[in-house]
Amino acid sequence: MAVRRVDDPERVAAVRGTGLVEAAESAGLRRLTRLASRLLGAPTALVSLVLDDRQVFASHLGLPPRWAALGQTPLTHSFCQHVVDADRPFVVADAREHPLVKDNRAIDEIGVIAYAGMPIRVDGQILGAFCAIDSTPRAWSEQDLAVLEDLAAAVSSEIELVRAAQHAEETSALVRRILEVSQDAYVAIDADGLVQEWNPAAERLFGWVREEAAGADLSKLVVPEEHREAHRRGLDRVRETGTSVLAGQRLELPAIDRNGRVFPVEFTLQATNITGGRPVFHAFLHDISDRRTTEEQLRRQAELIDAAPAAIIVRDPGGTILFWNQGAEQMYGWPAAAAVGRNIHRLLSTRFPTQLPDVERALEETGSWAGELEHRRSDGQVAVVLSRHVSRSSADGAGVEIIETNTDITGRRRAEEAREESEQRFRVQFHQSTIGQVIVGLDGNILHVNDAYARMVGRSPVDLAGYGVILLTHPDDRDGDTEALAGLFAEESDSYERVKRLLHADGHAIDVQTGVRLIRDSDGRPLHLIGIVQDITQQVQAQRERDAAQTVLAERNEQLQRANQLKLDLMGMLSHDIGTPLTAIMGYGEVLSDAELPPFLANLTTRIITGAHRIDELRHNVLAMCKLDAGELSTVRRPVPLAAALRDAADAADTAVPISCPDGVTVLANPAHLRQIVVNFLTNARKYGGGAVQIAATADDEAGSVEIDVHDAGAGVPEELRSRLFERYTRASDATAEGHGLGLHIVASLAEANGGRVSYRPDSPTGSIFTLHLELVPR
């Protein structure tokens, strides 16, 4: 039988290795649990570290007193163990109905009903879960889960920080011993600027032995003359205020040695005994002349890399971004200031084709990894990139760094080593790049190309050596290159980018984006040109397809506008051309009905009036549907005496029905809409329910609403139709009466426009009750 992840010894050891199983609750975790409870509106939030026999709460909020005092539960009370076993989020709306946890004792003893837990991962191990708990059923929204996921990531980071702090405390004694033999110069001075301590590294750096330096004025030993007055003023300010504004800062200042050599030093200044007596200042200094030289070299190399229309990124093995070029800014939308110092996999939501530990293992064992990744840009769009990772020693030789070259851009390595290493690293990047690169002499002939460029134009690197680069450019695009090159030589810019076409060996054109930089020597004289070439044929083709699609869309919009105009014309015809003669028909019919006519003619007159009312009802329904579809259904409400309005509606529907309505009840509605809704209810009762048997209005002064019920004694609405009774085209399959299933949908829309609603319920023992709810005007 497979071992559960909860029981995995390595995982359990990792949980204990955090130091949080027995430790007091950290302030950072306490803030995160409170934040989760506040953002999610959940009464309980937990940071649960799951062992093989129990779960321990590194932080908790909202637990019952008994469990809060214990700070842990056995696994019989743990939902979080399922997050660990599945290594993914576990979300439960009602635990009492969930097959995995319905028997869990936490339901009765802790009150866990709704649960959402996110994995807590540190160094590739899942330690437990960060969860929110509710004591009532709850459907967790996507936003709730996204917030909880982000907070779980913050919990993982906080645990890493706590663990790092513990490690730092354990090694502090070792650090002190190391400082005694530090290779950095250590200098301590008193408040008067006189040297108190001067280690061997200081002797080597400044040339003064300890016996000469002790008790001497530091400014005369190491501070250049032009900076000594500022140094003395700073000491005076500390003596007067008891505060050092430079303490704790990393500073870079010029220094001077015994032989008069001025050189830059970097140091961190600390002050002690400021409140208890005269301050003593401590500084560790080291010569940064070589670093300054290397930084200048790196700056020049960075300029070359920034010319590439591609993402070139330097990061440490943990994923922290050290360098981010302009190509990366253009590809991902994040400026370098926002990206440097952040974790690349979190910033770009990296999705690997395999597990991240496999990638790291390949880098460690072989020094490189290549594959297809998914990255998310700053605008939320997902980019699929062809990525190559190369592991190299860092500039100081003390560790490693990872150079990423992503998709169709030039991978220039960021030089952080000495000048000799920079040249070699640049050559490696040039040949391993996944996009085209070319170095061109001032005579226009190719000096070097990489394999990617040679494949792009269908030739070999050997064949292209000495080849005129202009001959590879489409004849129609050559003038643009000439003009851009003139700008480089005239020093109007250091580089340019443009889109053009290259000629393949078989004669077809290739759409490319090029970046060209003119390289100059230390005197500013041109040496050669470096070009970065990216095949964008597919992107150009996609743009053409998008343009064609937009043309088709414009034609469809025009068709829709014509259809909409036809609908508007139909509304006008229904409103005036049909409404006017129809009103006359109903009026003359009423006149005839009042006359003494033979029974045969009286019956025909009644049928004429009934048919006219039916047509008028359909006209109003069609007009309402047109306004609904056009988004133009609105109303102006005013106080309407309800009893009179109900009688008017019954007359309009030609229905004799008992009306029960309290005196003085007034509703806020559009009179015409109120009349149309009630008439529609009465007409439906006549069609499907054998006729209305009662209209009853009930006012609720406390709720400020009125309920108007239309009762019939028919067979009632089939149960399968009730949930969608007020949707469009809803009719019973065996309905014999005429209709299109629009009347009740229109009624619902009219009620909503008047700030009300409609509903249905079966009557007892038979029949139906259709209800209109409106706002009551206070009496």
Asked if 762 contacts 778 with a C-beta cutoff of 8 angstroms, the reply is: no
Higher pLDDT, 396 or 556: 556
The rounded distance, in Å, linking the Cα atoms of 353 and 361 is: 14
pLDDT score at 128 = 95
Q: Is the dihedral of CA 220, 224, 226, 232 positive or negative?
A: negative
Taking only the tens place, the pLDDT of each residue in 179-190 is: 557 788 899 988
* pLDDT above 70 (res 612): no
Which amino acid, one-letter code, is at 602? Answer: A
Query: What own/partner pairs with CB < 8 Å and gap ≥ 24 does 744-750 have?
Result: 744/680, 744/684, 745/625, 746/621, 746/624, 746/625, 746/628, 746/676, 746/680, 747/676, 747/677, 747/680, 747/681, 747/772, 749/624, 749/628, 749/633, 750/624, 750/633, 750/635, 750/673, 750/676, 750/677
Report the C-alpha gap between 135 and 94 in whole angstroms.
9
What mean pLDDT do residues 729-733 have? 64
- How would you classify the pairing of strands 705-712 and 400-406? unpaired
CA 294 to chain centre: 38
- The mean pLDDT of 583-609, rounded to a whole number, is 73
- DSSP structural state of residue 8: -
- Tens of pLDDT along 622-668? 555 555 555 556 678 999 999 999 999 888 888 889 999 998 899 99
CA distances from 454 to 405, 407, 448, 466, 598 (A): 19, 17, 10, 13, 103
Residue 311's Cβ-count burial label (10 Å; 0-12, 13-18, 19+) is buried
Return d(Cα 262, Cα 271) in angstroms, integer. Answer: 26
Tokens of 690: 């054998």
Q: Which residue has the higher pLDDT, 410 or 566?
A: 566
In whole angstroms, what is the distance from residue 85 CA to residue 466 CA?
A: 63
Distance CA 409, CA 432 (A): 12
**Structure confidence at residue 199 (pLDDT):** 93
* C-alpha to C-alpha distances, 272 to 249, 497, 603, 740, nearest whole angstrom: 14, 56, 113, 89
What is the rounded radius of gyration, in angstroms, for the C-alpha atoms of the chain?
A: 41
3-state secondary structure 712-757: ECCCCCCHHHHCCCCCCCCCCCCCCCCCCCCHHHHHHHHHHHCCCE
Residues 350-404: tens digit of each pLDDT: 888 888 888 888 888 888 888 888 999 999 999 898 888 888 887 677 788 988 8
CA dist., res. 724 & res. 730, Å (int)? 7
Contact of 49 with 18, CB cutoff 8 Å: yes
Each residue's pLDDT tens digit, 122-145:
998 999 999 999 999 999 999 999
Summarised one tens digit per residue, pLDDT across range 187-218 is 998 888 899 999 999 999 899 999 998 988 98
Is the whole model's pTM more than 0.75, yes or no? no
